[in-house]
Structure 1
Amino acid sequence: MENKLEKVDVAIIGVGVVGLAVAAELSGGGREIIAVERHDGFGRESSSRNSEVIHAGIYYSRDFHKTRLCTEGRRILYELCPRVDIPFRKCGKLIIAIEKGDLPVIAALKERAEENGVEGLRLLSRGEVRAIEPRVRAEGGLWSSGTGIIDSHRLMAYLEKKASCDTTFAYNCELIALKKKGEGYRVVIRDADGEEYEFFSRVVVNAAGLGAERVAIMAGIDTAAAGYRIYPCKGEYFRVGGTEGALFSNLVYPPPTEISLGLHTVVDLQGGMKIGPSAFYVDEVDYTVDEQHREDFFRGAEKYLPELQRDNLSPDMAGIRPKLYRKGEAERDFVIHHEEDRGLPGLINLIGIESPGLTAAPAIGRYVKNLVEKIL
Structure 2
Amino acid sequence: MSKVVVVGAGIVGLATAARLAARGDDVVVVDKEDGVAAHQTGRNSGVVHSGLYYSPGSLKAQLGVAGSRSMVAFAREHGVAVDVCGKLVVATSEEEVLRLRALHERGTANGIDGLRLLAPEQAREIEPHVACAAALFVPATGIVDYRGVCDVLARQVRESGGEVRFGVRARAARDLPDGVELTVEDGEPLRADALVACAGLYADRFARASGVDPQARIVPFRGEYFELAPGAAGLVRGLVYPVPDPRFPFLGVHLTRMVHGGTHAGPNAVLALAREGYRWRDVVPADVLDALTWPGLWRLAQGNVGTGAREVVRSASRRVFARSLARLVPEITAADLVPAPAGVRAQALGRDGRLVDDFLVVTGPRQVHVVNAPSPAATASLEIARHLERQVDAALARA
Above 0.5 in TM-score?
Answer: yes
Contact kept in structure 2, 1:236 and 1:289, CA below 8 Å: no
1:302-358 residue CA offsets vs partner (Å, 9 max, x unmatched): 112111121121210111111123897355211123x2xxxx212111111110011
Q: 1:364 to 1:167 in 2, by over 3 A?
A: same
> Aligned pair 1:106/2:100, yes or no?
yes
Looking at structure 1, the residues matched to 262 and 17 of structure 2 have their Cα atoms a distance apart, in angstroms, of 32
State the 1:28 CA deviation: 2.5
Contact kept in structure 1, 2:231 and 2:336, CA below 8 Å: no
Residue type of the alignment partner of 1:69: L
Looking at structure 2, the residues matched to 83 and 180 of structure 1 have their Cα atoms a distance apart, in angstroms, of 39
Match of 1:3 in 2: none
Number of paired residues? 358
SS of 1:108's partner is helix
Identity %: 30
RMSD: 1.9
Looking at structure 2, the residues matched to 31 and 304 of structure 1 have their Cα atoms a distance apart, in angstroms, of 49
State the 1:259 CA deviation: 2.2
Match of 2:318 in 1: 294
Greater CA drift, 357-366 or 181-190: 181-190
Residue type of the alignment partner of 2:133: E
State the 1:96 CA deviation: 0.6
SS of 1:244's partner is helix
Contact kept in structure 2, 1:235 and 1:278, CA below 8 Å: yes
Match of 1:134 in 2: 128
Looking at structure 1, the residues matched to 134 and 56 of structure 2 have their Cα atoms a distance apart, in angstroms, of 25
> Aligned pair 1:264/2:288, yes or no?
no
Match of 2:238 in 1: 250
Contact kept in structure 1, 2:367 and 2:392, CA below 8 Å: no
Contact kept in structure 2, 1:16 and 1:42, CA below 8 Å: yes
Residue type of the alignment partner of 2:244: P
State the 1:86 CA deviation: 1.0
1:42-95 residue CA offsets vs partner (Å, 9 max, x unmatched): 110000111110000010111211111111111112222222111100110100
State the 1:29 CA deviation: 3.0
Residue type of the alignment partner of 2:197: N
Matches within 5 A, 1:195-344: 195-223=186-214, 226=215, 228-257=216-245, 258-284=248-274, 285-288=276-279, 292-325=316-349, 329=354, 331-337=356-362, 339=363, 344=364
Contact kept in structure 2, 1:289 and 1:318, CA below 8 Å: no
Contact kept in structure 2, 1:8 and 1:34, CA below 8 Å: no
1:241-293 residue CA offsets vs partner (Å, 9 max, x unmatched): 03211342220000113121110001012331111011122231221379843
> Aligned pair 1:184/2:179, yes or no?
yes
TM-score by length of 1: 0.91
Greater CA drift, 168-177 or 106-115: 168-177
Looking at structure 2, the residues matched to 31 and 70 of structure 1 have their Cα atoms a distance apart, in angstroms, of 26
State the 1:189 CA deviation: 1.1
Question: Paired residue for 1:86, among 66, 80, 83?
Answer: 80
Contact kept in structure 2, 1:12 and 1:33, CA below 8 Å: yes
SS of 2:184's partner is strand
Contact kept in structure 2, 1:12 and 1:205, CA below 8 Å: yes
Residue type of the alignment partner of 1:277: P
Looking at structure 2, the residues matched to 134 and 199 of structure 1 have their Cα atoms a distance apart, in angstroms, of 56
Match of 2:30 in 1: 36
Question: Paired residue for 1:143, among 127, 137, 141?
Answer: 137
Looking at structure 2, the residues matched to 160 and 97 of structure 1 have their Cα atoms a distance apart, in angstroms, of 41
Greater CA drift, 44-53 or 238-247: 238-247
Question: Paired residue for 1:363, among 379, 383, 390?
Answer: 383
State the 1:296 CA deviation: 2.6
Contact kept in structure 2, 1:246 and 1:271, CA below 8 Å: no
Unaligned runs of 5+ in 2: 282-314
Matches within 5 A, 1:12-23: 12-23=6-17
Looking at structure 2, the residues matched to 158 and 174 of structure 1 have their Cα atoms a distance apart, in angstroms, of 23
SS of 1:230's partner is strand
Residue type of the alignment partner of 1:150: V
Looking at structure 2, the residues matched to 121 and 51 of structure 1 have their Cα atoms a distance apart, in angstroms, of 22
SS of 1:232's partner is strand
TM-score by length of 2: 0.86
SS of 1:134's partner is coil
Looking at structure 2, the residues matched to 33 and 78 of structure 1 have their Cα atoms a distance apart, in angstroms, of 25
Greater CA drift, 181-190 or 52-61: 181-190
Q: 1:293 to 1:328 in 2, by over 3 A?
A: farther
Unaligned runs of 5+ in 1: 1-6
Moved over 4 A (4+): none
Residue type of the alignment partner of 1:299: R
Looking at structure 2, the residues matched to 328 and 243 of structure 1 have their Cα atoms a distance apart, in angstroms, of 43
Match of 1:57 in 2: 51
SS of 1:119's partner is coil
